[in-house]
Amino acid sequence: MKQGFEKYIPFVPLKRAHRAWPDKELKQAPIWCSVDLRDGNQALIDPMNIDEKLEYFHTLVDIGVKEIEVGFPSASEVEYEFCRTLIEGGHIPDDVTIQVLVQARPHLIEKTFEAIEGAKHVIFHFYNSTSTLQRKVVFHTDVAGVKKIAVDAAEMIYTMAQSAIAAGMDLRYEYSPESFMGTEMEAAAEICAAVLDALHADTGHRVILNLPTTVENCMPNYFADEIETFIELLPGRERAIISLHPHNDRGEGVATAELSLLAGAERVEATLFGNGERTGNVDMVTLALNLYTQGVDPELDFSHINRIRDVYERCTKMKIGPRQPYVGELVFTAFSGSHQDAINKGTQYMREQGSEYWEIPYLPIDPADVGREYEPIIRINSQSGKGGAAFVMQQSFGYDLPKAMHPEFGRIVQRETERMGTELQPQRIFELFRENYIDATAPYQLLRHSFEEATDERGVSRVRFTGTLRHTDTTFEVSGTGNGPIDAFFNAIHGQKMDRFTFVDYKEHAVSNGSDSMAVAYIQLRDEAGRDVYGVGVDHNINLAPLRGILSAINRAWQARHQG
Ligand SMILES: CC(=O)SCCNC(=O)CCNC(=O)[C@H](O)C(C)(C)COP(=O)(O)OP(=O)(O)OC[C@H]1O[C@@H](n2cnc3c(N)ncnc32)[C@H](O)[C@@H]1OP(=O)(O)O
Ligand SMILES: CC(C)C(=O)C(=O)O
């Protein structure tokens, strides 16, 4: 960029001698209000039609949102009709309050009252901008002028509300000094106090004062200072519910909401996945799940986040990015080796220790808690390491490779990712495993075998192995005795060219493939030069799987010697 930054007016932080919010903690969920169907909707290329709004409304209800701004009924036919459809169609559960927005203008207020007729619980939300900038360029007035706009509207709304209340409506009021973040705090408190008076607010009839960052213009800590200052300056603070309505122009909407809750706010207006004007409103999902991962009940249900994402994408025609917190396609996926290693170890730790806490590095939330347990946590590309390949073998196929084998198999996988230049799917990783270990059946092959078990006069059990082996075109008989099948087999091949190895280690477990269960044996042998070689045998017979594993190791050593 060349020049130009000089033309911007920097935000001037408040001077505060003392601030309480930095020492506070978030211990409970705020009152949530969804503004998806209003602020979110007014920012779409194609605003939602009635059917889409209805589906979205029911999704919000299912999530557990109890206050839902359903639209701006005086703005258009669709907005008005949607409000009527909700009320007349009986779509609003008894414990849900609908909220409607209107400018502080008489004809629009009248139309809005018509739109809510017959509703049980309503928040009547009106606004006018109070900021220095909008006073100057939009309203051409001073603080007294914007205060008068607000108070006139409040008085009119209060008067009109009385007949609705008398008819049984539970009607509450909300006032937004729009562009609050650009308003002097003394002016904001003075205007809001006058609105509270005009609405006859008291502790039994608290009015929602909604303090928006209509356009986010400062760092979250500065805004939290504004909230704390405003609350101190507001006469009769206990008559108000302090609400936030953060936007995200600087990408700090979530932080702004969190710090401002510390500063004394009690309610947050937000949208799913942060849809809304320009860069969006603050994201309700992120705010709620941030609380959840700090051990606080968010009082919203995101246990099927993918379903919610589908509704969102269908109704808004917006796409959720792969890195979007908690919901993006890639947010639970590790491609890089050290992350995979730690996830693998964390998973193993949790399995072995049965820890009651979530203690897996690089995963701030259990994917199962948002219904994403069936998606791959670890995906393999050229940035991946041995732990990743082992994790895929375990998670996708049930093969629990011994740790000593991880480096060798990791190298095999790494070579393939480099050759392909792309991500390897789990199936390809299994194929590499099969090609390299299970299918290492040449040159030595076991054609026939039998085991006999006998107990000697001292009661010691001995196993005798007899079998036929093939080496390319030659077949030969072998037999031997040992204290178990592996020992007997090793003794049987003693004296053959295959006996240049010592037995180092062995591990066996069952793998089930649907109704079929197989034994898999991992064998570690050491050759005369001290090099370790691994083999894997798979068979229905648990005595045979290790023998196949031994032959796999011997064949792999032979292949390495003869084929390089
Ligand atoms: C920050 C926010 O998101 S606020 C919500 C914004 N959402 C929307 O605007 C969506 C729905 N709005 C609409 O459809 C239209 O704006 C309507 C139907 C509400 C009003 O339409 P119109 O009257 O034709 O136009 P418009 O909104 O431009 O009105 C501008 C006039 O209202 C005044 N005005 C704007 N907002 C307010 C307000 N909140 N309170 C009082 N007066 C206001 C302006 O100063 C201007 O006055 P002027 O004519 O004397 O210059
Ligand atoms: C109406 C108000 C709350 C608004 O949408 C905003 O300031 O962003």
Evaluate: CB of 42 within 6 angstroms of ligand 1: yes
Shortest-distance atom of ligand 1 to CA 139:
45
The closest residue, in CA terms, to atom 22 on ligand 1 is 75
Question: 3-state DSSP call for residue 371?
Answer: coil
In short, whether 39's Cβ falls inside 6 Å of ligand 1 is: yes
- DSSP 8-class letter at 6: G
CA nearest neighbour of 114 among 79, 68, 145: 79
DSSP SS3 for 553: helix
Site residues for ligand 2, CB cut-off 6 Å: 39, 101, 127, 176, 178, 210, 212, 214, 245, 247
Counting ligand 1 atoms within 8 A of each CB, the residue from 38, 103, 191, 248 with the most, and so the one to mutate, is 103
- 539, pLDDT greater than 70: yes
ipTM value of the model?
A: 0.97
Which residue bears the tokens 């609380």?
A: 291
Q: Which residue lies with its CA nearest to atom 40 of ligand 1?
A: 104
Q: 210-249 burial, b for 16+ CB within 10 Å, e for fewer? A: bbbbbbbbbbbbbbbbbbbbbbebbeebebbbbbbbbbbb
Tokens of 38: 């209003």
> Percent of the chain beyond pLDDT 90?
93
Average pLDDT over residues 161-175: 98
In degrees and rounded to multiples of 5, residue 229 shows phi and psi of: -65, -45
pLDDT at 499: 66
Specify the pairing of strand 67-71 against strand 97-103: parallel
Judged against a pLDDT cut of 90, whether residue 552 lies above it is answered with: yes
Q: Is the pLDDT of residue 514 over 80?
A: no
Could you tell me if 166 and 199 are in contact, meaning their C-beta atoms sit under 8 angstroms apart?
Answer: no
Looking at the chain, the whole-number percentage of residues with pLDDT higher than 70 is 100
The arithmetic mean of pLDDT across residues 461-487, rounded, is: 93
Question: pLDDT by residue (tens digit) across 154-167?
Answer: 999 999 999 999 99
Q: What integer pLDDT is reported at residue 526 of this predicted model?
A: 94
Alpha-carbon torsion angle 512, 517, 518, 520, nearest 10:
40
Instruction: Work out the angle at residue 150's Cα, subtended by the Cα atoms of residues 47 and 126, and round it to the nearest 5 degrees.
Output: 30
Query: What's the CA gap between 345 and 351, in Å, rounded?
Result: 10
**557 closest CA partner among 521, 529, 522:** 529
Residue 105 near ligand 1, beta carbon < 6 Å: yes
Closest ligand to C-alpha of residue 107 is 1
Q: Helix, strand, coil % (nearest 5) of the chain?
A: 45, 20, 35
Average of per-residue pLDDT values in the chain: 96
Confidence tier at 93 by pLDDT (50, 70, 90): very high
Distance from the CA of 449 to the center of ligand 2, in angstroms? 80
Q: Give CA angle at 210 (60, 48), nearest 5°.
A: 35
| Amino acid, res. 512 | S
Contact 270, 210 (CB under 8 A): no
Q: Report the atom number in ligand 1 closest to the C-alpha of 214.
A: 1
pLDDT score recorded for residue 497: 72
Query: Distance (Å, rounded) from C-alpha 122 to C-alpha 169?
Result: 7
| Nearest to 277, CA basis, from 62, 39, 36, 552 | 39
d(CA 191, CA 186) in angstroms, rounded, equals 9
| CA distance readout (Å), 67 to 100, 265, 296, 401, 492 | 10, 16, 20, 52, 78
Which whole number is the average pLDDT over 258-283?
Answer: 98
Q: Are 247 and 269 in contact (CB under 8 A)?
A: no
Cross-strand pairs, 242: 209
CA-closest residue to ligand 1 atom 41: 104
- The residue with tokens 């502080």 is 104
pLDDT(498) > 80: no
Per-residue pLDDT band at 107 (split at 50, 70, 90)? very high
Asked if the model's pLDDT at residue 564 lies above 70, the reply is: no
- Please give the single-letter amino acid code of residue 54: L
Predicted confidence at residue 424, as pLDDT, reads 97
Phi, psi of 396 (to 5 degrees): -90, -25
Question: Which atom of ligand 2 sits closest to the CA of residue 101?
Answer: 1
222, 181 contact by CB (below 8 A): no
User: Could you give the CA distance from residue 431 to residue 2 in angstroms, rounded to a whole number?
Assistant: 55
What mean pLDDT comes out for the span 12-41?
Answer: 98
Q: Would you say residue 495 has pLDDT above 90?
A: no
Whether 175 is in the pocket of ligand 1, judged by its Cβ within 6 Å, is no
CA distance 559 to 538: 20
Nearest CA-CA partner of 432 in 448, 446, 451, 418: 418
Q: What is the mean pLDDT of residues 189-203?
A: 98
pLDDT tens digits, one per residue of 362-417:
999 999 999 999 899 999 999 999 999 999 999 999 999 999 999 999 999 999 99
Beta-carbon neighbour count of residue 442 at 10 Å? 13
| Ligand 1 center from residue 103 Cα (angstroms) | 6
pLDDT at 472 over 90: no
Please compute the mean of the pLDDT values over residues 240-266 and round it to a whole number.
Answer: 98
> pLDDT tens digit string along 298-312?
999 999 999 999 999
Does residue 278 come out as left (phi exceeding 0), alpha (psi in the -120 to 50 range) or beta?
A: left
Give the type of residue at 307.
R
Query: Ligand 2 center to residue 75 CA distance, Å?
Result: 15
Q: How far apart are CA 134 and CA 116, in angstroms?
A: 30
Q: What is the DSSP string of 28-91?
A: SPPEEEE-IIIIIGGGSSS---HHHHHHHHHHHHHHT--EEEEE-TTT-HHHHHHHHHHHHTT-
Q: Is the pLDDT of residue 353 over 70?
A: yes
Bridge pairing between strands 461-471 and 444-455: antiparallel
Environment class of residue 450 by beta-carbon count within 10 Å: exposed (0-12), middle (13-18) or buried (19+)?
exposed
